[in-house]
Amino acid sequence: MANLGFIGLGVMGGRLAKRLLDAGHKVTGYNRTKSKADWLLKAGMKWGENPRQVAETTDITLSMVTNTKAVLAITGGPDGVIAGLSPGKIYIDMSTVSPATSRQLAAQVTEKGAHMLDSPVSGSVETLEAGKLSLMVAGDETIFEKVKPILLDIGPKATYVGDNGLAVTMKIATNLSLAVQMLAFCEGVLLAEKSGIERETAVEVLTHSVIASPMVNYRGPFVLGTPEEAWFNVNMMQKDMNLALELGQQLNVPLPTTAVTNEFLTAARGMGLEEEDFAIIFEVLASMSGVNK
C-alpha cells in the first residue's frame, strides 16, 4: 500500500481521500479548514500542518482544489507542495484549472527532480460513491503506469491522454457539456409543464428516454428539489465554462451553446444562487417562463 498525501478535502476531495483510506493506503491530508476533515481524521487519516509537510512526508501527493488561484496557493511559497518535493516524488493535481498553469507547475516540479501528472475526474458525488468515477491523466506515461493502480482505487477507468496539461484540457472539454445538457433538459421539462404535464411526469419520461445520459439521470431530478449540499455549484461550473470559452478563442473553435449556457449561470449568480448546484439554472429559466419552481 502507498504512502499518500491529499490536499483539498472538500465535497469531492474528501470522498476521494476516503476511498484511498478504504483501499488500505496510508493518507496524510491537509485542508484550509481543518474542521471539514474531522470525519477523515476519525477514519484514520493523518494530518499535515501545511501542503509542504504533506509533500515532504509522503511519496505521492494528490490535490483537488477549486480553481487556478487555489492550486497556485497550495503549490507556491515556502509552505507549498513544490517546496516539499524532492527527487523521485510524484505530485498529481486533480483540480480543473488553466491548462497553461498546469504545464507551468509541471515544469517547476520537474526542476525539483520530481514528477507531475494532471488527473481530473469525470463524475459526480453519486458516481464516486457508486465506484464509477473515471479519470483522465496527462504527463509522463511511465509515471502514469506507475501510479495507475492507485488511481484505479479511486475509479474503474483511468485513461492516459498525453502530455502535461492535456488532461485538464480534456476535463474542460467534458464539463462544458454538463451545463449545456442541463439547460436543454430544463427547456424540455418547462415546455412539457406549461403544456399541462406534471413536472414529475416530465422528469420521469425524460430520464427514461433516449436523451437520458448519466448526467441527466442523476442531476435531472434536481429540478424537483436541489440537494442541501451542492455537488457542483454555479461558481464552480461557470469557472469551467469560462476556461472552455477561453480555450475556444485561443484555438478558433466556436462554442455557441457553451456561451449561451454560460449566460444562464451569470443570471443565476445575479439571482443570488451562486452557491447552489448548477442545476439551479432550471429556476432561472422557470422564472423567465413565468413558472414557479
User: Would you please indicate which residues are annotated as catalytic (active-site) residues?
Assistant: 171
Q: CA-CA distance, 96 to 172, in Å (whole number)?
A: 7
Nearest to 96 by CA among 252, 278, 235: 235
Nearest to 37 by CA among 55, 13, 57: 13
Q: How far is CA 168 from the centre of its chain?
A: 10
Query: Are the C-beta atoms of residues 151 and 229 closer than 8 Å to each other?
Result: no
Question: Cell numbers at residue 284, please?
Answer: 432561472
> What's the alpha-carbon Rg for the chain, to the nearest Å?
20
Provide the strand spans (E) within the chain. Answer: 3-7, 26-30, 46-47, 60-63, 90-93, 115-118, 121-122, 134-138, 157-162
Q: CA-CA distance, 230 to 168, in Å (whole number)?
A: 22
CA distance readout (Å), 72 to 80, 108, 138, 164, 285: 9, 12, 19, 16, 36
DSSP-assigned letter for residue 233: B
Residue 161 phi, psi dihedral angles, 5° rounding: -115, -10
Query: Are the C-beta atoms of residues 158 and 134 closer than 8 Å to each other?
Result: yes
Q: How far is CA 75 from the centre of its chain?
A: 18
